[in-house]
Amino acid sequence: MSTLASATGLSMGLHSSLEWKYIQDFLSSKGYQMEDIRMLPAIQVKRIMTEACSHVSLKLAELESRASFMGKIQYK
């Protein structure tokens, strides 16, 4: 397990670097950094990270949809 995965509890999958960037962007938009999150109460961390994961999931789905759509356009 990588340092990032062990420090954040996040698994490192196929899109891990992109997921990490989206999480950082989300936290930044809420006024947080990962260092700030570690100092918050567990219930608040869970809420924020649940929101972040939902955000990341939507962003990755959007990215995959765009790629699929662009692939379909190119082959027509």
CA distances from 69 to 2, 40, 63 (A): 34, 41, 10
* Residue-range definition of the domain harbouring residue 57: 3-74
Q: Would you place residue 11 in the very low, low, confident or very high pLDDT band (cuts 50, 70, 90)?
A: low
CA dist., res. 69 & res. 53, Å (int): 24
- pLDDT of 7: 47
Give yes or no for residue 74 having a pLDDT over 60.
Answer: yes
Return the CA Rg of the chain. 15
- pTM, two decimals, is 0.68
CA dist., res. 28 & res. 16, Å (int): 18
Indicate the number of domains in the chain.
1
Token output for 69:
């759509």
- pLDDT of 3: 38
